[in-house]
Structure 1
Amino acid sequence: MLLDAKKRVLLTFMAAVMATLPAKAEPAPHTGYLLVHFTSEVADGEQIYFSTSTDGLHWRDLNDSRPVLVSDIGEKGVRDPAIVRSANGDKFYILATDLRIESGKGWDAAVHRGSTSLIIFESTDLLNWSAPRKVDIAGGIPGAGCAWAPEAIYDDSTGEYIVYWATTSPLNGIDKARIYYSTTRDFVSFTPARLYIDRPGKADIIDTQIVKMDDSAGGYKYYRASGDGQITLEGSQKILGEWTTIGDLRSVGLTGKQVEGPILYKFNGTDQWALWVDQYAAGKGYLSLVSSDLSRAENFRILSPAEYSMGKSKKRHGSILSVSAREYQALQSKWGPSR
């Protein structure tokens, strides 16, 4: 009885203390967007550029269309950047391909004898970024020739980030691009690379991106888009679980011979999604599509040129982060929109 009384006193005390603590602040609503990207194979084109938007459709370049971040390590170029907000919102990471084609090395060397490292930048506020650091993420894959187009997504079932990318290497007698993954909690230490996605036969797969649906959304919990000869859409309940093929963009008239580098993102405060695809064959940069239902590829609608604007610079394979009004304004204050 005495022990029970002590417990009641302790619980009463703890409840009183908790009542005096300020409630945990809810994250500020996201009202804008930040796009990180590269532009082309020219002197400064393979570096990190920033652009912003208030509606996710009309974009303006920051920093007078000049690079915001530059890599002076590895191959001294950064392509295909992905930006990630940490699970608790206190950090941001940019992961990018360690590659510079403008140096003249050529695509064959880049694919088969390129860097097996990623370049990573880190920030607490989107404004002040660390120096780039190089992480050899694919060096343990036998015969690895590259590590391209990295992405990352937080797995709330394990408390880890799953980092995934494309590596070209020989496996089972076939030398081609496959998607590998590693896990990390801090973007400093990574587990050994493991095979993630392998298409049948000699088909390469590159440029995979995974998005998580809201908990209240029906259908699959995760969707992914990949370049595997087409732009293929898949759905799953688990990031590392079984995935079901939904379809590809041939249903709306786009083939893998025309477009690559998909970006999926949700419009803030709506149930609408956007899918950007890089019109690499025509050298035109991004084309924008929209849908309110990712479970059917044919639901995507290609926007007309009058419905969106990509800004002044050409935008190549990048990543889009939803930001708060405060974060958006801070980005404008530091780098200003390009006029």
Structure 2
Amino acid sequence: MNRSVKYIVLAFVSVLILSCKTSKSVYMFTSFREPAGGGLRFLYSYDAYHWNALNHVFLKPEAGNAKIMRDPSIAQGPDGVYHLVWTTGWKDDQGIGYASSKDLLHWSAQQHINVMAYEPTAVNAWAPELFYDDEAGQFIIVWASTIPNRFPKGEEPENNNHRLYYTTTKDFKAFAPTKLFLDPGFSVIDAEIVKRAKNDYVLVMKDNTRPNRNILVAFSNNPLGPYTNYTKRFTEMYSEGPSMTKAGDNWLIYYDSYRLKRYGAMRTTDFKTFTDISDSVKVPEGHKHGTIFKVTKKQLNLLLKERG
């Protein structure tokens, strides 16, 4: 590369970085660290590729017997309030945690919502994910649960044969009866809904069967399904906790590659072809399963100030 071309490239990169940092919104990534008793953490990014840790616990878990917080998921309602749900126990826990906040700093009293209480043999309620359905004006909460001897299984034991369930709510006070969300014919966990356009939804999920344990997506014209046209598994084995966000024309799918002890990332424009960009992203060590959303720079500055 000659010197003049090199300078042009460096100038372009500098402008791109400056543009990202001066934009009005910032990407946030909910996070937790092991052991899971610590609580809610955040990463932030100006470009959705390079992430920084805030290194502060913003909410310590109190809901549920185990007093842990795994898989924190946040969605913002049309009134600006942030709603948070999380996993409160590995097993023998049929509920999920819930709290809300107007600024991500001051939180409501925590609740333990017994979403699977109607199924007395349900083993768990894992990785709840929030999605705001702007067309129906309601929140959808999707999670994975095992009900032994309910569904055909592969090599995994009965207490690890998951299907997806859901409930809906408008105010987090009244909840619709829990229903089966997805039975794809295999054990499935870690599902997240994303809306591409009106009547165009994508569901990213983990195939939790042995020996797969990797990630795929499916499609629907309704956030509640049914979902069809499943893609091939497009990540390496031992991948979980997928999280999606859009950056420019690209969709980025982050995931925990737990056997490799790193965070991986795939880039796609159509959810049909996927490019591995794991070596081009920066995710702080220790970050675990969360969801990505956006805040204003003013909101980020408040979080940075709280971190001290």
Please show how residues 56-67 of structure 1 align to structure 2 within 5 Å: 56-62=48-54, 65-67=55-57
CA distance in 2, matches of 1:151, 1:246: 20
Q: Which residue of 2 aligns with 1:143?
A: 121
Q: Is the 8 A contact 1:231 1:260 kept in 2?
A: yes
Q: Which runs of 4+ in 1 moved over 6 A?
A: none
| From 299, 316, 321, the counterpart of 2:293 | 321
Q: Which residue of 1 aligns with 2:268?
A: 291
Q: Which residue of 1 aligns with 2:200?
A: 221
CA distance in 2, matches of 1:303, 1:90: 33
Q: Map Cα deviations across residues 10-50 of structure 1 (whole Å, 9 max, x no partner).
A: xxxxxxxxxxxxxxxxxxx8521111111223663xx2111
Residue ranges of structure 1 left out of the alignment (5+ in a row): 1-28, 100-109
Rg larger for: 1
TM-score by length of 1: 0.75
Question: Which piece of structure 1 moves more, 189-198 or 35-44?
Answer: 35-44
CA distance in 2, matches of 1:42, 1:320: 19
1:304 Cα deviation from its structure 2 partner = 4.6
Q: Map Cα deviations across residues 248-307 of structure 1 (whole Å, 9 max, x no partner).
A: 344xxx33x32111111112xx2211101111123x13112212222x1xx2211153x2
Q: Which residue of 2 aligns with 1:163?
A: 141
TM-score by length of 2: 0.82
Q: Give the paired residue count.
A: 273
Residue 213 of structure 1 aligns to a residue whose secondary structure is: strand
1:127 Cα deviation from its structure 2 partner = 2.3
The one-letter amino acid paired with 2:71 is: D
CA distance in 2, matches of 1:166, 1:134: 16
1:171 Cα deviation from its structure 2 partner = 5.0
Of all paired residues, the percent bearing the same amino acid is 30
Residue ranges of structure 2 left out of the alignment (5+ in a row): 1-22, 153-157
Give yes or no for the alignment of 1:277 onto 2:260. no
CA distance in 1, matches of 2:114, 2:37: 25
Please show how residues 82-161 of structure 1 align to structure 2 within 5 Å: 82-86=73-77, 88-99=78-89, 110-111=90-91, 114-161=92-139
CA distance in 2, matches of 1:247, 1:318: 23
Give yes or no for the alignment of 1:204 onto 2:187. yes
Give yes or no for the alignment of 1:72 onto 2:62. yes
1:223 Cα deviation from its structure 2 partner = 0.5
Q: Map Cα deviations across residues 57-89 of structure 1 (whole Å, 9 max, x no partner).
A: 111111xx2422111231110101101111x14
| From 267, 274, 286, the counterpart of 1:300 | 274
Q: Is the 8 A contact 2:141 2:167 kept in 1?
A: yes
Q: Is the 8 A contact 1:97 1:118 kept in 2?
A: yes
The one-letter amino acid paired with 1:53 is: S
Change (3 A) 1:262 1:173: closer
Q: Is the 8 A contact 1:224 1:235 kept in 2?
A: yes
Q: Is the 8 A contact 1:33 1:328 kept in 2?
A: no
1:333 Cα deviation from its structure 2 partner = 2.5
Q: Is the 8 A contact 2:263 2:278 kept in 1?
A: no
1:245 Cα deviation from its structure 2 partner = 2.2
CA distance in 2, matches of 1:177, 1:192: 19
Question: Which piece of structure 1 moves more, 76-85 or 53-62?
Answer: 53-62
CA distance in 2, matches of 1:249, 1:180: 22
